[in-house]
Structure 1
């Protein structure tokens, strides 16, 4: 059976995968106040647990990108999905912060494939003019997973225990991995794609090439660093929202687990809106004469300005005002994140985009890891307010880098075939 607009069904499938990925990932943040008590952890030790995930994820992201480029998305992403499900379920066996950090590291290794795989799928299935919209929708899965984590995790914990919360959130990924393997194919091989859609996708793609680009060539390119630096500066905000909001609400705003479950999902709902609307902003600007890359950078700059709001959380008079500022921050960050990821699909060819996005993601996660460890060291002594203030500054600097150097970002081109030299006359 032929399915019209099959590429959007592929986006829905990727979105479901990122939801399962981030549901498992954000379970820890929701359970942080409970785990600190149950496993007698200090804030510093909790930061080490978070850091174990971030370090493993940081190391593995470019490796995962290389693997999905080399072996393909269908089998590779499914195997990573099974692996992160098993790793999350193992959290139920934790008996202290060290064992929890170990299982958290395993989860980081397995979950690192999510964003490079999603970006590669978008590069395979979408023409450039639609990519920011596609990335906005699939990237919504990251915040949807984080959005549903507080009520699901809190409900399972109250009904059973925190150990069962890890088992339930992990098991969901197994169901998704089976669906991915059953349904995903490339546009060239999918049996349900229409001929018109296949031709439309092929018409806007650069000519296929079998040449594999070495990782050192990607790392040595100017376009990589122009995107990687803003990603390094933007990612600390998302790591803070994912792993530290519940603990902040518990320690500085006096909320319990039920109250956190009621309110902690709101920034991620706002993040969904930011990612999706940011995706539509780029083609809206293009219809008004703005070129492809400047249209991405304009959205990133707008998001950076909005990130001033969470930087002012220390000035909020009530926990509800703080949550409102977190919501603005979630909206702004996902606008930035989605468009930065789209840029990597724009300037790198489909055969190399998984590897390139993996290294760009690694740059971001290095920033997130450093900032999480900084929170662990300083939050108890200085409070969260000055640390949140830094987040807005980081994104403004990242936007400035893109504005200054976007002229050096170019779309991928395949060099024309070399004309053979004429044979010498005899």
Structure 2
């Protein structure tokens, strides 16, 4: 095979495409929520249960998926989960009521849970520490790109045919990606296309693999785990609210129809892409410009983004739907900065042999927060409205930033030993 310079960036591109496929399938439900409520006779509360089924399954499965990927390897493990989430999403077309939709949504949550742990593991294997946040930024861009393209694609297919075919189309994309991943991915030590220069660059920044992995109990018993997991628990409700509830909010409180939602609901995810990529570059900039340590640069970026998250907390004050969308855009931008840097921290402080499992547990903490908040929205949105719920998201991120500041010494020590 021909040698490919800078192959690690092509690996990130391949991961990003997989994440796009993952989030395209995931966000199909949110885009179709107003139509599904009408066709399947769902209440807002029942819709929150459907969302909760995905979140609960995803929450439970994340560390298990990370464990599986750590054990069977990235190539086979990520491809297997890619096939599984594609089929699960296509099965949504068979739903005859909200309970059927809830069941298929749960299957999708089980399968999609491997995406972030797998991506973080790949970056831990392929990138030196100084480049990881940039790589995570580009990989993480796939989450918002998938969410960004979901409204126009899903609405176009739904209007051309029906909502059932929209689930089939968005699921089939993942099958193509899974085949490409299995065909082209290898680890740096095994990839025939890597150049000797790049192989040496990667090897020089990685400690020798010992073959020893921390157990789940050992990971959960460390202070470094909780220093990352608590802020993730507090940050994740914002992204899941944006992913699953923006279309329904725009329809119920701002009077938008399906076509208007398709025209505007993708904008917060475009802003999220920009925030994710900028967040990745912000860390090395702070290291170079202000001579911050690696960990301090990650935390500083998170603190800045948490301050920006005050903006979506003011959505209830917006005079028009367009002003509300603008505030959502700032929120998407800020949240993805937080997401990129928190995920990078897990690659900084855990070894490549255990990072997928550790990141799975950290993701589980985040999804517990997202699940609880979605259920809260389902219970309160029709009575108190969305405004106080959006305000709560801002407070969560500020608390999470404070926890990270208090935990910096723990993380710095852990990073030096990983």
Normalising by structure 1, what TM-score? 0.97
Distance 1:332 1:257 in 2: 27
- Give the CA deviation at 1:209: 1.1
Distance between the aligned counterparts of 1:42 and 1:332, measured in 2? 31
CA RMSD of aligned residues (A): 0.8
Match of residue 359 from structure 1: 361
Matches within 5 A, 1:23-422: 23-288=24-289, 289-409=291-411, 410-412=413-415
Residue 332 of structure 1: SS of its match in structure 2?
Answer: helix
| Aligned partners of 1:232 and 1:368 also within 8 Å | yes
Between the aligned partners of 1:283 and 1:206, the Cα distance in structure 2 is 21
What corresponds to 2:20 in structure 1?
19
Q: Quote the offset at 1:411 in angstroms.
A: 4.0
Structure 1 CA distance, aligned partners of 2:147 and 2:181? 21
- SS class of match (1:312): helix
Report the structure number with the largest CA radius of gyration: 1
Q: Deviations over 1:104-157 (max 9, x none)?
A: 000000000000000000000000000000000000000000000000000000
Moved over 3 A (4+): 411-415
Residue matched to 1:9: 10
Query: What whole-Å deviation, never above 9, does each CA across 1:137-182 have from its counterpart, x for those lacking one?
Result: 0000000000000000000000000000000000000000000000
Distance (Å, rounded) in 2 between the aligned partners of 1:154 and 1:318: 23
Instruction: Give the Cα–Cα distance (whole angstroms) in 1 for the partners of residues 88 and 410 of structure 2.
Output: 41
Distance 2:415 2:191 in 1: 25
Per the alignment, residue 421 of structure 1 pairs with none
Q: Kindly state the Cα deviation for residue 207 of structure 1 after the two structures are TM-superposed.
A: 2.1
2-side partners of 1:207 and 1:170: how far apart? 39
The 3-state SS of whatever aligns with 2:319 is coil
Whole-Å separation in 1 of the counterparts to 2:198 and 2:38: 55
Structure 2's unaligned 5+ residue stretches are none
Confirm or deny: 8 A CA contact 1:230 1:399 kept in the other structure: yes
Point out where structure 1 has 5 or more consecutive residues left out of the alignment: 416-426
Partner-residue secondary structure (3-state), 2:35: helix
Distance 2:286 2:417 in 1: 27
* Post-superposition offset of 1:287: 0.8
Residue pair 1:207, 1:414 contacting (<8 A) in 2 also: no
Normalised TM-score (structure 2): 0.99
- The count of corresponding residues between Structure 1 and Structure 2 is 415
CA contact (8 A) 1:228 1:363 kept: yes
Asked if the contact 1:349–1:412 (Cα under 8 Å) also holds between the matched residues in 2, the reply is no
